[in-house]
Amino acid sequence: MPVNYYIFLSVALFCIGIAGVLTRRNAIVVFMCIELMLNAVNLLLVAFSKMHHLAGLALDPGSTAGTEAQLFVFFIMVVAAAEVTVGLAIIVMMYRNIHSVDINFLNRLKH
Amino acid sequence: MSTTEILFWFLSALAILSALMMVTSRNPVHSVLWLILVFFAISGHYILMNAQFLAIVNMIVYAGAIMVLFLFVIMLMNMNADTEPQKNKWMKMAGAVASGSLMLVLVAALRDTELRSKGLEGAEGSIGLISQLGKVLFTDYVVAFELSSVLFLSAMVGAVLIGKKN
């Protein structure tokens, strides 16, 4: 499949994630939708990495073009894991204080 | 249609349908399970594009660790479809229209991109293998690697600090 199909697939997944963020009120589900958006971007990065690699291979058979993109995806996963830890800790703390994960009550985070 | 094309369409349909089910299902536990299915489909795409290391990391880190964390938190709070807060109908419709408009704009903008590249599936090259990635990771990107370990440490300390009872 050419890279266009991957672009459209990523756009579709990203927009589904945005729809989830906009339509759900459960903070955890909103957080999961953000993970989905991150994954859509990762998929696109891997697709472009492969495209770049194929273009590099056409010029030089021993080319390693495209490695950086895959490492970038790896670092995105690392940062996402750290982000999930802190985010879920905040949600658990919020649940302990106001006994709800409804984001409409999140404006009370200050007290 | 070749095998890779059939696999591509199958995995894409699986990913999009599971993502839609995740957004629309009322029970948060079901949402987590659908999201795990999305991650498996994306891992399948990585394997198709010869990025084996990322496929395995995606399965272990995302579908394994992160989603289990979500599942634990959801079960800790004892959430189910009855306790799920719902936005009203018009807000939902507005959200769907907004994201649909964004998708329309992006697709319209990217529709005329060149189709010059050939299929991305296939086993050309070895950049997805762990030996190649590890070599680059521990030479060119070793500073970023060490910084990410500091990030993990601070995230761990932060999670414990936020999570502990005061």
Mean pLDDT of chain B: 88
Q: Summarize pLDDT for B19-54 with one digit per residue, the tens.
A: 999 999 988 999 999 999 999 999 999 999 888 999
Question: What is residue B117's predicted lDDT score, i.e. its pLDDT?
Answer: 63
Domains in chain A and their CATH numbers? 3-108 (1.10.287.3510)
Q: B interface mutation test: which of A44, A78, A83 has the most B CBs within 10 A? A: A78
Rounded to whole angstroms, the Cα distance separating B125 from B57 reads: 19
Contacts with A92 from chain B: Cβ below 8 Å: 73, 76-77, 163
Q: Where are the domains of chain B?
A: 3-128, 129-166
Intra-chain end-to-end CA distance of chain B, in Å: 61
> How confident is the model over B73-94, as pLDDT tens digits?
988 888 877 777 777 888 889 9
Task: With beta carbons under 8 A apart, name residues in chain A contacting B125.
Answer: 53-54, 57, 63-64, 66
| Class of the CATH domain delimited by B3-128 | mainly alpha
Nearest 10 degrees: Cα torsion A63, A44, A82, A30:
180
ipTM above 0.85, yes or no: yes
Q: What is the pLDDT of residue A109?
A: 58
In Å, how far is B41's CA from the nearest CA of chain A? 11
Interval A26-51: pLDDT, tens: 889 999 999 999 999 999 999 999 88
What's the distance, CA B47 to chain centroid?
15
